Amino acid sequence: MPAIQEMDDTVIDARISVLLRSGMILSAIVIFIGGALFLLHHGRSIPDYRVFHGVQAPLNNVSGIVQEALHGHDLGIIQFGLLLLIATPVARVLFSVIAFWMERDYLYVAISGIVLVVLLYSLFVHRA
Amino acid sequence: MNSAEFTAILGAGALLAGFLGALTGLGGGVVIVPLLTLAFGVDIRYAIGASLVSVIATSSGSAAAYVKEGFSNIRIGMFLEIATTIGAICGAFLATKTPAAAIAIIFGLVLLYSAAMSNRKRTDAHLGRAPDPIASALRMNGSYPVGDEKQHYLVRRVPLGFGIMFGAGTLSGLLGIGSGAVKVLAMDEAMQIPFKVSTTTSNFMIGVTAAASAGVYLSRGYIDPGLAMPVTLGVLAGSLLGARFLVQAKTHALRIIFAIVIAFLGIEMIYNGFTGRL
């Protein structure tokens, strides 16, 4: 039997488990660092969430958030951590597409592929 | 109250919500929106944005544990995620068009439903009945470990389950919750999947469903970093702690108390929705 087919569901399960846990830990660390910087700089400001203004660009889209985080801005780093959190289940679906492909289970390559397209549409394609 | 105090108090509240949510299996996300809107006066749109990201965090955390134990069924989860993710995007668009008062009332009704469902006795349907041919074609029938043995199960009424899952996804996108109670309804009642499998598979699906509405929420400005930071970290820490205590805690009395709290919050949300205070 070729080695590729030995990657059965339990192996996939174990790898998904590691992927989810690392994504969660990594994003929590990033959010924590951004949060600490934010409180250091703006801890005495008065928060106001009573009236909805909506978070404005660049913190409301993927490329803007990455730019802000790279510049070391505190809110950008928090938002980048939240993006990592959102990306974790997306990575899990991408991993499933690949794993089903290696199992030659093309029906489930298609099913997980549809889910992946829906997720990527939400994150990148549509604009408000 | 300045930002440092706001963050500390909110983080502590979120920690408690996550802790009780994990202990009772009801999820912490469901009380975050009432906590933010009723206690902190936060606009409901910021509240559902923060709640949604915290739901993704707890789903990844708990799913990581369950997937490893071999209870969750990845094929069932993946197939039903087609329904929940499309539903979630529809729900998120709907949220941007629905008045805040209406969202508060729908939220209240879902809270009442979750409270009612939480103390229901769950018994597995009689095994060995004929499976749905669709389930066989999609290779959904599976098994889970019971000691050293494997307990096999068959999946029934796939189209009905798929339809309810679309509804669960829509509610998740509209309200920023995991809507675990509706997912469990689809899998337990409609598809007659054993509850160990349905609970863990539902947990596994919640993160993907929430990620689908997160994109819409992000571009509409619902996800505020200053608010989502304490909520996400608090709920995450609370749910990890809760999962650790789960083994030794007597959860029955706690479930009833938490269900009463949820029901009370539901009534409060509906009342505030009708009086236009939210």
Distance of residue B47 Cα from the nearest chain A Cα, in angstroms: 9
Res A13: pLDDT: 76
Q: Is B273 helix (H, G, I), strand (E, B) or coil?
A: helix
A16 vs B1, B67, B236: nearest CB: B67
Is A55 in contact with B67 (Cβ distance < 8 A)? Answer: no
In the block, tokens 């009236």 appear at A51
How long a stretch of residues is chain B? 278
Residue of A7 and B232 predicted with greater confidence: B232
Q: What is the pLDDT of residues B163-221, one digit of tens each?
A: 999 999 999 999 999 888 888 889 988 998 888 888 888 888 999 999 999 999 999 99
**Residue A1: what pLDDT?**
36
- Set of chain B residues whose Cβ sits within 8 Å of the Cβ of A107: 138-139
Mean pLDDT across A109-125: 93
Chain B: residue nearest A15 by CA?
A: B68
C-beta atoms of A115 and B85 within 8 A: yes
Q: What is the largest CA-CA distance in chain B?
A: 61
**β partners of residue B151:** B144
Distance from CA of A70 to the nearest CA of B (A): 16
Quote the DSSP letter at residue A90: H
Question: Among the listed ranges B157-166, B186-195, B231-240, which one has the minimum average pLDDT value?
Answer: B186-195
Tell me what ipTM this predicted complex has: 0.90
Inter-residue contact B243 to B62 (CB < 8 Å): yes
Tell me if A118 and B210 make a contact (CB, 8 A cut-off).
no
Instruction: Give the C-alpha separation, B57 to B62, whole Å.
Output: 9
Reply yes or no on whether the pLDDT at A5 is more than 50.
no
Mutation target to probe the B interface, by most B beta carbons within 10 A, among A122, A124, A125, A127 is: A122
The pLDDT of residue B249: 60
Triad B26, A48, B261: Cα angle to 5°: 25
pTM to 2 decimals?
A: 0.90
The beta-carbon neighbor of A42 closest among B3, B57, B64 is: B3
| Domain range summary for chain B, segments of one domain joined by + | 3-274
- Nearest-by-CA chain B residue for A92: B208
Burial-class residue B116 by CB neighbours within 10 Å (0-12, 13-18, 19+).
middle
* % residues pLDDT > 70 (chain B): 94
Residue written as token pair 């469902």? B117
What residues pair up with B144 in beta bridges, in sequence order? B151
Q: Cβ of B57 and A24 within 8 Å?
A: yes
Which residues of chain A are within 8 Å of residue B236 when distances are taken between CB atoms?
24, 28
Q: A33 versus B66: which is more confidently predicted?
A: A33
DSSP A18: H
Which residue, chain included where needed, has tokens 């933010």? Answer: B36
Q: What is the pLDDT of residue A93?
A: 94
Q: How far B223 CA sits from the closest chain A CA (Å)? A: 7
Q: Tell me which DSSP letter residue B124 carries.
A: P
Contacts B230 to A, Cβ<8 Å: 35
Residues of chain A positioned with their CB less than 8 A from the CB of B89:
118, 121-122
Contact criterion met (CB < 8 Å) for B232 and A82: yes
Domain assignments of chain A as residue spans, ordered by start: 8-42+57-125
| Contact (Cβ atoms closer than 8 angstroms) between residue A79 and residue A65 | yes
Three-state DSSP class for residue A128 = coil
pLDDT at residue B244, rounded to an integer: 77
Q: What is the pLDDT of residues B81-118, one digit of tens each?
A: 999 999 999 999 999 899 999 999 999 999 999 888 87
